[in-house]
Amino acid sequence: MTIPLLSLMTFLPLVGMVIILCLNRERHVNAIRGVATVFAALSFLVSAYLFLPFNSADSAIQLEEKALWFDAAGFVVNYHMGIDGLSLPLIFLTTLLTLLSVIYSWRITERVKEYMAFFMLLEVGMLGVFCALDFFLFYVFWEVSLVPMYFLIGIWGGPRREYAAIKFFIYTLVGSLAMLLAILAMYFTSQPHTFDIIELTNQKLFAGPFGFGVKHFWVATLAFWGFFLGFAIKVPLFPFHTWLPDAHVEAPTAGSVILAGVLLKMGTYGFVRVSLPMLPGPAQYFAVVIVLLALASIIYGALVAMAQTDLKKLIAYSSVNHMGYVMLGVAAAVGATVPDRYGPTLEVARITALNGAVLQMFNHGIITGALFFLVGVIYDRAHTRDLNSFGGLAKQMPVYAGIMMMASFASLGLPTLSGFVSEFLVFVGSFGVYRVFTALAVLGVIFTAVYFLWMIQRIFLGPLNRQWTELTDMDGGELVATVPLCFLMLFIGIYPRPLLDLINTAMSGLVYEMSQVIHLVQGWGMWG
Amino acid sequence: MTAPELLALLPYVVLATTAVLVMLSIAARRSHGAALIISLLGLAVTLAAMAYGGWGGAPQPVTDLLVVDPLATVFLGLTVLATVIVALLAAGYLQQQSVQREEFYVLLLTATLGAATLAASSHFASLFLSLELLSVSLYGLIAYQYERPLNLEAGIKYLVLAGVTSAFLLFGMALLYSQTGDLRLPGGGAPGALAGPVTPVYLLGALMVLVGMGFKLALVPFHMWSPDIYQGAPAPVAAFLATVSKGGVFAVLLRCFLTDRLSEHASLYVLFVTVAIVSMLVGNLLALLQTNLKRLLGYSSIAHLGYLLVPVVAGGHMAAGTAVFYLVAYFVTMLAAFGVVAVLSGGSRDAAEFHEYQGLAWRRPWLTAVLTTALLSLAGVPVTAGFMGKAYLLANGAEAGEWVLLLALVAGSAISIYYYLRVIMVMFGAVPEGASVARPRPVLAGLVLGVLLGLLLGLGAYPGPALTMLLALMGG
């Protein structure tokens, strides 16, 4: 019997949570922290081990696990898990960031038991989302990841935590309910009825040219927009992003790291796992909406980030900006374009854009994760995040300055750091599909550079503010949380190939499958 | 009466006998413990008798008045189990009251008998008698702590309401009788008995019956009474009202109106869809304004009964099973929520204002866990029973293509999450200065809440067996 690696990885934190709940909140504080760390580490080790049995040259789903969950009234719901080149990097990202967050969270002193228990549950939900291949299971994990994050923000958050937590929950819940309707629409359209994501994709429900008046127009449209709402709120795509600055600013440091590093990826993952392969026709038909909203996210996110004086808010809006690149790549992977661009190079462009988008998900996870840790570092010491109150800190905290600058440069897309690779791929690929939109999106990179450089200038350069002569440099726990991420930024920036090969196999397969189903030259995006 | 008839009737006879036995025991010697134990034993024997008689068989008419079919049996089981839980919750609750405790169980048992026979009625006479048995018992239960003004007010409101309900029902029955010349439910009480309006007068009669049920189920626009009564009634009684009482009436609703062909009767169909949508939205919107947990649960219950109309409107092979499964999830959830209120309440008033829950998470973590899970279940968040129930409702509606109804359901759920989260947020807030810590921790109620928490999560994580059984029973 083979070991169910994915289930093992997903549910190890649940075991940790149960153990934590059995420990005494006052007497066993360090034991609680230790258990959380050990189980996060075990889960991380299993996820790292996954790379060994995984065949990166195979675009099919691997390490599958399937068992009947329940079956009533002909409603067959399976426990179906599996991974491919899309989910594996995100799984690795999840376990890595959770482990680092737990290590960083040793400094939490209030209600440690509940904190760590919620963190473990959060990891179960996130890993489950990336592994689940049955819509019902997917939805359950999706929601399971929502509840602990709500508590993490609502209990350990900043002054406006209650508002932020409720806003976060309601936005996401509205999205997921819309998604639930879309799932049911898919279920009842499929023949035979199924919740299985792979089977639904293989059934090619809405194959052929898509447009107003085709047989399944309304069902497919409802399904597409249902999923769109669920995923776009999570990404978040402009104009659904307003929960994000609140949630990020109020969340505790590790909560922000997970929120930005992993939870946002669930949205883009959904687009690539569900919307593109399952609904390529509607996706192509409505791609222009996605691309316009992505463009708005890029430009608007960058401009608003530029206007922030709160460091954490700045990083939060930079997420809106960076996730916009992912969505640009997603739209380019399917969008209609002018006829003279059709041909073999178009597919290459689509694959390139999608590779960039998936790599950008991973990169944004490590870079923004690191940045949020770094915001926590300064806030713990100075108890303010006001950019204008700092200055000259490079002298006072040289290690901190170095790591912060490296993460910022990675985020703004400096070559040799990871952000550059993925953004470059997104732009190259998207340019083959949308020339005007891509050219406009590149403007976003300039704005990104502006706000990061300006941020660095205001915090680290200039004369040292007398107020901060007491500040100490980073301690051991903070270094453990951030250095591995910096190493990954550099590694992927210089040698992205192993990861990219993995992604490329899956994305080539996806684009190929989509091109079999839609025979295009239609849609509204042709002037882009 | 034949042997099969007697066998089918046995659980009801046991239930009635138990009520009498408890009453006699009180006459002999007052003892809270004895009354509780006799009640619980009687309820257990009722379940045993039900199991002995077998379930899921062909409908067994018992005279013209009752029919013991799967619908009746399922509701009997549900009702009795819920009553066991209410009785256990009430035991700890009453311990802290200065009233006579024993009669509570007599009333509880007669009310249960009323709800159970209501679900088995196949004749207007038995339907009406059962409903009156339920209502009259409830007057006593709601106003049980008669020295509290709110309790008395609630009791009197319920009395007026029950009077209005009876008036509507009786008038409706009279109109139906004028058309059919028969007081038996058409089709021997098979589901969907009244959904066949042939003449305008018949339709009017059916509508009157529906209005009567609407009052009892607190569907909008017949909901005005319900929050006051929930607020005023003792917490265990409120739990009983929200579950057993509504469940029994809902069974009648299924018996009268659940059919695959509801959409053929335009007026009934429009009425049901409207009432469902309005109940979902109004119930949830009004709940937003509440600062009292019992009132809030009352409004939430309005919305949930609105959700429960989805299978009635949608019909289809899984409608009955879906409705019953949702009701099971709703029973478990409501009992858990009111159970926590009951455990926290004591002395002169019930603990139901939000500020009394401030920081509860750090004082009573397990109670908070139960209430939080219950509220998330009401909101329909996985992994809870409420989510599974809602998923099946949505599936049932989607299969029938009732997208408008589903959108209302989704909108209602989205609104509802806000007020549930508010309560949760209060519980996880800072512990107020000088909060009382020492409260008796009733073992029985603690055990019950533990079981309910297990059911909430169990039905959410592994609903297979329960779902399969219910759907098979209800012919899904």
Amino acid at A192: P
pLDDT number for residue A470: 83
Structure tokens at A287: 């791609």
Q: Is residue B107 assigned to a domain? A: no
List residues bridging with A70 in a β-sheet: A77
- In chain A, what residues touch B406 (CB-CB under 8 Å)? 181
Instruction: Check if the beta carbon of residue B435 is closer than 8 Å to that of residue B380.
Output: no
- In chain A, what residues touch B379 (CB-CB under 8 Å)? 173
Q: pLDDT truncated to tens, each residue of chain B (476 aa)?
A: 788 888 889 999 999 999 999 999 999 999 999 999 999 999 999 999 998 887 767 888 888 899 998 889 999 999 999 999 999 999 988 888 878 888 999 999 999 999 999 999 999 999 999 999 999 999 999 998 888 888 889 999 999 988 998 999 999 999 989 988 888 887 776 777 776 667 888 888 888 999 999 998 999 888 888 899 999 999 999 999 999 999 999 999 988 888 777 777 788 888 899 999 999 999 999 999 999 999 999 999 999 999 999 999 888 888 888 999 999 999 999 999 999 999 988 767 788 888 889 888 888 888 999 999 999 999 999 889 999 999 989 988 988 888 889 999 999 998 999 999 999 999 988 888 776 655 667 788 889 999 999 999 999 988 888 888 888 888 75
Cα B127 to chain centroid, rounded: 17
Looking at the complex, report in whole angstroms how far the Cα of residue B398 sits from the nearest Cα belonging to chain A: 7
Dihedral, A262, A268, A269, A275 alpha carbons, nearest 10: 160
For residue B166, CA distances in Å to B118, B121, B136, B211, B222 come to 14, 16, 12, 10, 14
Q: Is residue B459 assigned to a domain? A: yes
CA–CA separation, B12 vs B7, rounded Å? 10
- Angle at CA of residue B100, ends B95 and B106, nearest 5°: 95
Domain count, chain B: 1
DSSP A309: -
Is residue B193 helix, strand or coil?
A: coil
Q: Is residue B468 assigned to a domain? A: yes
Stated pTM of the model = 0.93
- Structural element, H or E, at residue B14: helix B3-28
CA–CA separation, A395 vs A462, rounded Å? 10
Residue holding tokens 């299969």?
B399
Q: Is residue B293 assigned to a domain? A: yes
For residue A177, what is the nearest residue in chain B, using CA coordinates? B410
pLDDT number for residue A129: 95
First to last CA, chain A: 53
Question: Is residue A49 within 8 angstroms of chain B, CB to CB?
Answer: no
Q: Is residue B416 assigned to a domain? A: yes
Residue A365 burial (CB count, 10 A): 26
For residue B428, what is the nearest residue in chain A, using CA coordinates? A155
pLDDT number for residue B206: 87
Instruction: Check if the beta carbon of residue A407 is closer than 8 Å to that of residue A399.
Output: no
For residue B321, what is the nearest residue in chain A, using CA coordinates? A73
For residue B463, what is the nearest residue in chain A, using CA coordinates? A70
List residues bridging with A134 in a β-sheet: A196
* Preceding amide of B432 cis, omega within 30: no
Instruction: Check if the beta carbon of residue A495 is closer than 8 Å to that of residue A48.
Output: no
Q: Is residue B397 assigned to a domain? A: yes
Interchain pair A170, B463: CB under 8 A? no
Among the partner-chain residues B361, B414, B468, the one whose CB lies closest to the CB of A170 is B414
Instruction: Check if the beta carbon of residue B450 is closer than 8 Å to that of residue B375.
Output: no
Residues 209..268 of A with a Cβ closer than 8 Å to B: which?
Answer: 222
The complex's ipTM? 0.90
Interchain pair B425, A178: CB under 8 A? no
CA–CA separation, B255 vs B194, rounded Å? 8
Question: Is residue A338 within 8 angstroms of chain B, CB to CB?
Answer: no
Looking at the complex, report in whole angstroms how far the Cα of residue B88 sits from the nearest Cα belonging to chain A: 27
pLDDT number for residue A17: 94
CA–CA separation, B121 vs B185, rounded Å? 9
Instruction: Check if the beta carbon of residue B278 is closer than 8 Å to that of residue B192.
Output: no
Q: Is residue B399 assigned to a domain? A: yes
Sign of CA dihedral A445, A451, A453, A455: negative
Nearest to A370 by CA among A207, A246, A256: A256
Q: Is residue B227 assigned to a domain? A: no
Among the partner-chain residues A72, A146, A166, the one whose CB lies closest to the CB of B467 is A72
DSSP A465: P
pLDDT number for residue B169: 93
CA–CA separation, B203 vs B247, rounded Å? 24
CA–CA separation, B256 vs A224, rounded Å? 39
Q: pLDDT truncated to tens, each residue of chain A (528 aa)?
A: 578 899 999 999 999 999 999 988 888 889 999 999 999 999 999 999 999 999 888 888 888 899 988 887 677 889 999 999 999 999 999 999 999 999 999 988 888 999 999 999 999 999 999 999 999 999 999 999 999 999 999 999 888 888 999 999 999 988 998 999 899 889 988 888 889 999 898 888 877 777 777 778 888 898 999 999 999 999 999 899 999 999 999 999 999 999 999 999 999 999 999 999 999 888 888 888 999 999 999 999 999 999 999 999 999 999 999 999 999 999 999 887 777 777 778 889 999 999 999 999 999 999 999 999 999 999 988 888 888 888 888 888 999 999 999 999 999 999 999 999 999 999 999 998 888 899 999 988 999 999 999 999 999 988 888 888 888 888 888 999 999 999 999 999 999 999 999 999 999 999 888 888 776 555 555 555
Question: Is residue B376 within 8 angstroms of chain A, CB to CB?
Answer: yes
Question: Is residue B453 within 8 angstroms of chain A, CB to CB?
Answer: no
Which candidate in B402, B421, B467 is best for mutational testing of the A interface (most A CBs within 10 A)? B421
CA–CA separation, A50 vs A9, rounded Å? 10
Is residue A49 helix, strand or coil?
A: helix
Domain range for B385: 262-476
CA–CA separation, A265 vs A407, rounded Å? 19
Question: Is residue B404 within 8 angstroms of chain A, CB to CB?
Answer: no
Backbone angles phi, psi at A163, to 5 degrees: -60, -50
- Angle at CA of residue B127, ends B125 and B130, nearest 5°: 105
Instruction: Check if the beta carbon of residue B330 is closer than 8 Å to that of residue B296.
Output: no
pLDDT number for residue A519: 62
pLDDT number for residue B436: 62
CB neighbour burial string for A306-337, b if at least 16 within 10 angstroms, e if fewer? bebebbbbbbbbbbbbbbbbbbbbbbbbbbbb
